[in-house]
Structure 1
Amino acid sequence: MEAQKPKIALYAQRSFGEKLTAAFDFIKENSKLLMKFTTYLILPLCLLQGLSLNGLMSGAMALGDMTGGSFDSSVAGSSVMMLVTYYSLYAVLYLLGTVMLTSLVYALVRTYNEREERLEGVTLGMLKPLLFRNVRRLFLIAIVGVLLVLLVGGVAGFLVTIIPVMILVSLFVLLVIVVSVPLAIWAPVYLFEDIHIMDALKKAYRLGFATWGGIVLISIVMGFIALILQGVTMIPWYIGTIVKYIFVMTDTGGGATVSVGYNFMLYLLAVVQAFGVYLSMIFSLLGLAYQYGHASEKIDYVMVENDIDNFDKL
């Protein structure tokens, strides 16, 4: 029997390559469970997202068709309303899906880290309390995050009115981008630790500024991998939609491309595309989780050592 590989510790100092390896190893070791739980929780949302995505594209096609022909205000109004409705539905579903996936992935990582048996025998029923806790905390992060964005936007607008020099405004925007980087580990801090949300925000900045470069690198590399995976699942739906648009615009072979069968195929491709987006997110979520674990161990361990060394001076 093949010996079991060492457990992937969450809290450990790692080089950049080791953090990537830890994320990939977690996916490899728990791929069946990740796919099973993700499918169970996310696929129902993707079924609705497929409808909203195709509806959104249909509304866009209707508006595009009017730009090349006669303009009808009533038809334009209904097309715009359809666009707004489907876009709002898609945005809400995407937010719910992102929250649910983040809750699931971090619940699995925390459970894996805390159990000697790792994720062996874990069921969704066992994860339910932790999932609901994570969902509540993520929505709280979203609310506080929106308030922070409004605050920063208000400050930026105020600066534009009193400082007309664009260079200074650009420097402020650059400062905001730099300061926003530590927020990438805000969710891991708040979900992995039992602390208040503002304490989690403070800790995210403390750990984030100390490991700023690592967060940027992990985000770029994992984001690039996610982008490739999203492209693989998006291309079939995108090509099918473009073909439909071309035939509708030229009115050649339109009966074949807008048939019930073709539209159903586009719907299935839209579902696959939406599900692929969520699956690709797992890489970024795990990368940031192990980035947080690295930062927490590196910074907090140094602080504990300093406290021990200075104990005789107290």
Structure 2
Amino acid sequence: MLTDKPKIELYQQRSFGQKFSATFDFLRENIKLWLRASLYTILPICLLQALALEHIGNFFTNITAGMAGANGLTSIISSYMAYVVCIVIGTSMMTSVCYSLMKHYQSSPTGLQGVTLKALRPLIIRNFKRTLKLTFAIGGLFILVMIVLTLFGAIINGVLNNALGVVLLIIGIMVLLVSLSLSMPVYIFEEDTTAFGAIKRGFRLGWPAFLPTLGLIIVIGLLTGILQATTSVPWYLLYMGKAALTISNDAPEITSSPFYNFTLYLTAVLQSFGAYLSMALTLIALAYQYGSIAEAKNSLSVEDDIAHFEQLSEEDKEIDNFDKL
């Protein structure tokens, strides 16, 4: 049975407040499927990420207490690398989950009603690969730009002062990141676009709308920060308690007990999982920001209707032949 709720179109010009409403309406309408997909795809990553986080926390606690081993440096480097890899994979997977849900919702007349994870699996896997590809492409471009900005900052430092060079470097990085924030939605929703083509088009869409996009990121960032803080408090309290007791050498049997360490690990999993869930707000809001700008610039809603014309025609034929069923 078709839902009575109006469909939340991607390619539609929206005001600042309407983008917020569309973001929360989409999550509210598809909350069960989104949470189920997140549990199956993100939680396993969080289990590994929590292990790396625990090892990093123990290392710094032992350093402060003067109990670091000789091979501590190699171990902490490995833990940091594992932690970064988990973050890259987890962020890419959450991006793939959110945008796969939105993509199927956009293309289907009934949205995500009755859709199963098994049916979405091929789309999630394909978008995960595309997300990783664009992430590495943007990462390479970012490193190149960082080198150029650093050299430019060094020149400025020689002419003026160190503070101005640092400020210009920070501003340049911020402008680049905000301007490229629409590249991921471009690459996922416009399948014919190459990775570098998505970066180019994302910059063309993002640069003229720099201030609205920055404002959207800041406001959504405040909300996600509150959600992340909520799920992070248990881990921080337990970790700070363990660090304080270890450094002061008071009641070490408590912090070294299996129950305490296992509880600390579970809160680290909760922290990581909460961070990825809250990230979805920013991802979905940026998708609607992209849809609004793309619609205003290119009227992509018309192209989207044409692309799905055959699908709509087949449904009309089924209705016409209903009396023959």
TM-score calculated relative to the size of structure 2: 0.85
- Specify the alignment match of 1:292 in structure 2: 290
Hey, what's the Cα distance between the residues in 2 that align with 1:172 and 1:254? 45
Q: Kindly provide the amino acid, as one letter, of the partner of residue 32 in structure 1.
A: K
Aligned counterpart, 1:44: 44
Decide whether aligned partners of structure 1 residues 145 and 13 sit closer, same or farther in structure 2, where only a CA change above 3 A counts.
Answer: same
* 2:59 corresponding residue in structure 1: 59
- In structure 2, the residue matched to 1:205 is 203
CA distance in 1, matches of 2:91, 2:230: 20
Aligned-residue offset at 1:226 = 0.8
Q: How many angstroms apart in 1 are the aligned matches of 2:45 and 2:166?
A: 41
Q: For residues 148-184 of structure 1, what are the alpha-carbon distances to aligned partners after superposition, in whole Å with 9 as ceiling and x for unaligned?
A: 1222122234334555224467446534432432211
* Residues 23-42 of structure 1 aligned to structure 2 (within 5 Å): 23-42=23-42
1:134 aligns with 2:131: no
How has the CA–CA distance of structure 1 residues 170 and 247 changed in structure 2, closer, same or farther, with 3 Å as cutoff? Answer: closer
Counterpart amino acid of residue 36 in structure 2: K
SS of the equivalent of 2:14 reads coil
1:262 paired residue among 237, 260, 263? 260
Which structure 2 residues correspond to residues 1-314 of structure 1 after superposition, within 5 A? 4-66=4-66, 75-160=68-153, 162-163=155-156, 164-165=158-159, 166=161, 167=164, 170-171=167-168, 173-194=170-191, 195-301=193-299
SS in 2 for 1:216: helix
Measure how far apart 1:106 and its partner are.
0.2
How big is the shift at 1:221? 1.1
Which sections of structure 1, spanning at least 5 residues, go unmatched? 67-71, 305-314
For the Cα contact (< 8 Å) 2:180–2:203, is it kept in 1?
yes
Q: Write out per-residue CA displacement over residues 277-298 of structure 1, whole angstroms, 9 at most, x where no aligned residue.
A: 1111010001101000111111
Alpha-carbon distance in 2 for matches of 1:111, 1:84 = 40
Measured at CA, do residues 160 and 256 of structure 1 come closer, stay the same or move farther in structure 2, by a change above 3 Å? closer
CA contact (8 A) 2:231 2:274 kept: yes
* Secondary structure of the corresponding residue to residue 115 of structure 2: coil
User: Following TM superposition, by how much is the alpha carbon of 1:274 offset from its aligned partner in structure 2, in angstroms?
Assistant: 0.8
In the TM superposition, what is the alpha-carbon distance from 1:119 to its structure 2 partner? 0.4
Decide whether aligned partners of structure 1 residues 6 and 92 sit closer, same or farther in structure 2, where only a CA change above 3 A counts: same
Q: Evaluate the alpha carbon distance shift between residue 191 and residue 243 of structure 1 in structure 2; reply closer, same or farther with a 3 A threshold.
A: same
- Return the alpha-carbon distance in structure 1 between the equivalents of residues 150 and 181 of structure 2: 25
Indicate if the aligned counterparts of 2:138 and 2:199 stay in contact, CA closer than 8 A.
Answer: no
**Is the alpha carbon distance of 1:251 and 1:292 closer, same or farther for their aligned partners in structure 2, counting shifts above 3 Å?**
same
- Cα distance in 2 between the residues matched to 1:173 and 1:252: 43
Q: CA separation in 1, counterparts of 2:175 and 2:228?
A: 27
Aligned-partner SS, 1:9 = coil
SS at match of 2:213: helix
State the Cα distance separating 1:245 from its structure 2 match. 1.2
Distance between the aligned counterparts of 2:124 and 2:209, measured in 1?
Answer: 28
When the two chains are superposed, the root-mean-square deviation of aligned CA atoms in Å is 2.2
Identity %: 38
Report the Cα distance in structure 2 between the residues aligned to 1:231 and 1:281, rounded to whole angstroms. Answer: 13
